[in-house]
Amino acid sequence: MTELLIDALSWLLMALGGGFVLIGGIGALRLPDFYTRIHAASLTDTMASILIFFGIILQAGFSLAALKLFAIMIFLLLTGPTASYALANAALQSGLRPEKPTVTSTGRDK
């Protein structure tokens, strides 16, 4: 019973993580602006990696592999936002400005 529960929980976590990865990838391809794309891409670095790695850790149980998975997850969680911040800072320093908001329903121009 406990085995089944842990299996179901880990599958749920991994499916959610796969969904987040897919959403982030589609967003990084289709969003209109660099600063919106960086938002979609950093979503996959944090939320999706938490979900997928906790899903695999539940399958691994108490072992050295679980410790390694936890270390990879912590490392990705530390470096992903750092890289995103450095990227946004570099883009802003070099003069890349966010696009002005466009509201088409009220007829505001670009």
Binding flag, residue 76, other proteins (CB under 8 A): yes
How far is the CA of 11 from the CAs of 14, 22, 51, 68, in angstroms? Answer: 5, 16, 10, 20
Q: Could you say which of 9, 68, 81, 98 contacts other proteins (CB under 8 A)?
A: 68
Helix (H) or strand (E) holding 82: helix 64-93
DSSP string, 11-34: HHHHHHHHHHHHHHHHHHHH-SSH
Beta carbon nearer to other proteins, 99 or 108: 99
Q: Which of 5, 6, 75, 108 binds other proteins (CB under 8 A)?
A: 75
What whole-number distance in Å separates Cα of residue 91 and Cα of residue 89? 5
Q: What is the per-residue binding string for other proteins in 23-62, x denoting contact by CB under 8 A?
A: -xxx-xx----x--xx--x--xx--xx--xx-xx--xx--
Instruction: Residue 8: count other Cβ atoms within 10 Å of its Cβ.
Output: 11
Q: Which residues sit at the interface with other proteins, rule CB under 8 A?
A: 10-11, 14-15, 17-19, 21-22, 24-26, 28-29, 34, 37-38, 41, 44-45, 48-49, 52-53, 55-56, 59-60, 65, 68-69, 71-72, 75-76, 79-80, 82-84, 86-87, 90-91, 93-96
